[in-house]
Structure formats: structure tokens, C-alpha cells
Amino acid sequence: MKQSYVQLRRVFMEEEALINKKLPKELLLRIFSCLDVVSLCRCAQVSKAWNVLALDGSNWQRIDLFDFQRDVEGPVIENISRRCGGFLRKLSLKGCQSIADGSMKLFAQLCHNVEDLNLNLCKNIGDSTCQALSKHCPKLQRIDLGSCCEITDNSLKALSDGCPALTHLNIAWCDSITHFGVEALAHGCPKLRSFMCSGCVQLNDAAIRVLAEHCPNLEVVNLFGCNLVTDEAVHKLAENCHGLHYLCLSGCTLLTDASLIILAQQCHLLSTLEVAGCSQFTDTGFQALARSCRLLEKMDLEECILITDTTLMHLGMGCPRLEKLSLSHCELITDEGIRHLGMSPCAAENLTVLELDNCPLITDASLDNLVSCHNLQRIELYDCQLITHTGIRRLRSNLPNILVHAYFAPATPPPAVGGTRQRYCRCCVIL
């Protein structure tokens, strides 16, 4: 193996290697442009000619360093910045925790045409990076700052000032962000289509109201865990952003059916709705939603503890495209609700995932009512006490490719019979 590699290297070490003679440099560059970072680095070691071609900035327009996250440090980013310059359009440094503001300042200065930047989990990144991007990178459209916990309102103000083309922003778990930062962002970035702020616990109705008023093109909004948000914020979103197709309100515990009703009236393009932990939602809200939002494909209703079989009946009838449905911890759901779901238009063609963890009233009869769901790929049944091995075997016999996740406590061993062995140990007697 080593010998063949040496021979191959010897061939390409020659400047007049056949491939270099036959193919013009422009075509070789075009071929190299299809390679990933690892392949380009390997090609750069073949010969001097290939080193020049492989490291040409035009081949480094899209770079994802996620696979090198344990090793990548500031000097690597600085070298890439010098090599790529204005060619670079997309860079992912996700998980590169050694990267800091100094390297990113140089990057912003040299790679001023960057459009897509992923800094997720780069925990040493702070406001200075966003200020540099604002100053030098006016074409920036997407930036992921998820879990960059040093980021504050100053970053959003900077992006607002210098990046008017911004369409996608992720500030999940940047818990220093307040409504002041979001309001500044909304005024300067009216083209925003995706806004992800999971875990930004300081955001309130004021932030979402301004966002909705100034960014009417919003299609994706994630407010997971923003527990200060009320129906007023959802009302503004629905009223101004009719193109919403993904909305996560999980953990927004102050919301009531009023939010679902306004979404039903205004957001007919909704395809994904996540409302886990919204414990005030009832059948009334989901009935309104099912009547108007017929494009719904994924719904997470975990811990919507007030819903009953009525919700399943309406979802089954009104949402024929439903693919994934989570009803975990919806303790009022019974076999009757699952029967309605199994007979619904979505069941035979589209339903692929059904989560029923901790639904104590469902029995094997529910599994029998799901055999018509021919595309069902996975069902969750943890802590469903009335489900048996027999019921699961019957379901698998009808749907042999389905994954069933369930847990059955091991049988209690029978008491020992005979012998003179003491029934309790000394510790148990004392206790």
C-alpha cells in the first residue's frame, strides 16, 4: 500500500504529468471546485502544480470545518481568510470552540462577500465579531449564533446597522438578548425570513410585536422556552406574517386557545406546529386549527394535558398531510381517539411517526386501530401501562418494518420456598 502511494506521488511530482498536459488549468480548477476540504488538502500535497490549483481561492467558496472542530484554532481561520478572500461565500465553524473574536475580525475584513456564516457553539465569540461583520460584510444573509452565550443586544444592533440583506438568524440560548436587541434588528433587517431564539428567556411581547411589524416575510419562528410571551405576541405574528409555515411555541406556558384560533384565521400555510408544554390549550383551539390549516404535516402536542379524543378526531379529518404527531403525556387520550386517527385520510398514506409515551388510557386496541397506517415507521409507547407484548407483536405482524419503542418492567421474582434462610436481612429488620 505504501509503495503504490509512493509511486503515485512520484508520477504527480513531475510538472509535466500527463493530466497536467492534457487538461487546461481552467478545467482542472473546475474539477477541484467540486471537492470538499479534505480532498482539496490531499490534492495540494500531490505536486507543486496541484498545490497551486487546489489552494486557489475560487475552490474555497463553501467551507465546512465541523469535522475538524477539535483541532481548528484561530490561525487556521486566518490562513483560510487570506487564501479565500472575496471568493468565500459560505463558512461553517460549528463547534469550533477555540475560535475567538480576533480571528473573526480578520475574516470579516478579508472575506467581505460572505453570505452564510455558521458560528453555532463557538462559545468564545462575542459582540466584536458581529461588529466586524457589520462593518465589512454587507452581503451577509444567514448567520447562526446559537449557544454563543457572550452575544448581547449590541450584536443585534450591529447586524441591523450593517447587514440589511439578513434573512436567517439563529440566536438560540443567547440568554443575554433582550427586547432592545430584537427591536433594533427588526428595524434594520426587514428581509428576515427565519428567526430562531430558543431559550432567550428575556424576550417578551414587545420584542415579538416589533419583529412581526417590521419583518412581514417571516416564515420560520422558534420561540421555544420564551415563557414571557403571551397571546398578544402570537396575535401580532399571525396578523402580519401570513407566510408562516414553521412555528415553535413549546414552553410558552402563558398561551391560551386564543393563539391557536388567530393562527387558524391568518396562517393557512402552517406545516409544522410545536406547542409542547402549552398546558392551557384545549380541544377548542385545535378544532379551529384543523379546520383551516390543512397543510399541517408535523405537530408536537406533548403535555397539552387538556386535549381529548376530540382533538384527534378533528386533526384526522382536517389535516390529511399529517406525518408526525406527538401526543406524549396527553393523559386524556383513549383508544377512541386513536381509532379516529387510524381511520383518517392521513393514516393510510402519510402518518409515519406517532408518539404516545405516558398515555395511560390507551390499550392494545389502539395498536389494532393503527394497522391501516401502512407507512407508519415509528411508534413510542414508553410507560403506557395497558399496552402488552401481545399487542405489539400483533402490530408488528401487520407492519413488519415499524420501530416500536416501549418499556416493560421485569417480572417480580417469585418468593423463595423452603429452607431455613432468614426472610429479611438485618438491615431490613432494623429499618
Rounded distance between C-alpha atoms, residue 156 and residue 177, angstroms: 9
Residues of the chain with CATH 1.20.1280.50: 17-59
Alpha carbon of residue 54 to chain centroid = 33
Contacts of residue 260, Cβ cutoff 8 Å, sequence gap at least 6? 281, 285, 286, 288, 289
Q: Do the Cβ atoms of 89 and 117 come closer than 8 Å?
A: no
Q: Over its length of 431 residues, how does the chain's per-residue pLDDT go in tens digits? A: 445 445 545 544 554 465 666 667 777 777 777 777 767 777 777 777 777 776 776 777 888 887 666 678 899 899 889 988 999 999 999 999 999 999 999 999 999 999 999 999 999 999 999 999 999 999 999 999 999 999 999 999 999 999 999 999 999 999 999 999 999 999 999 999 999 999 999 999 999 999 999 999 999 999 999 999 999 999 999 999 999 999 999 999 999 999 999 999 999 999 999 999 999 999 999 999 999 999 999 999 999 999 999 999 999 999 999 999 999 999 999 999 999 999 998 888 899 999 999 999 999 999 999 999 999 999 999 999 999 999 999 999 999 999 999 988 776 665 655 555 454 444 333 33
**3 state DSSP class of 226:** coil
The CATH architecture annotation of domain 17-59 reads: Up-down Bundle (1.20)
CA distances, 22 to each of 14, 25, 58 (Å): 14, 10, 21
Contact 184, 153 (CB under 8 A): yes
**152-211: per-residue pLDDT in tens?**
999 999 999 999 999 999 999 999 999 999 999 999 999 999 999 999 999 999 999 999
The three grid cell numbers given for residue 74, joined into one nine-digit string: 484561530
DSSP label at residue 85: G
Direct distance between the N- and C-terminal alpha carbons of the chain, in angstroms, rounded to an integer? 69
- Distance CA(280)–CA(252), nearest Å, equals 10
Q: How many CB atoms neighbour CB 305 within 10 A?
A: 16
| Pair 96, 75: CB distance under 8 Å | no
Cell of 391: 399487542
Report d(CA 360, CA 371) in Å as an integer.
21
Query: How far is it between the farthest Cα atoms of the chain?
Result: 93
Contact 205, 180 (CB under 8 A): no
Give the C-alpha separation, 182 to 214, whole Å. Answer: 11
Cell of 262: 388567530
Name the pTM for this structure. Answer: 0.87
Q: Considering only CA atoms, give the Rg of the chain.
A: 28
Q: Where do we find the cell 470552540?
A: 97
Sign of CA dihedral 276, 278, 279, 281: negative
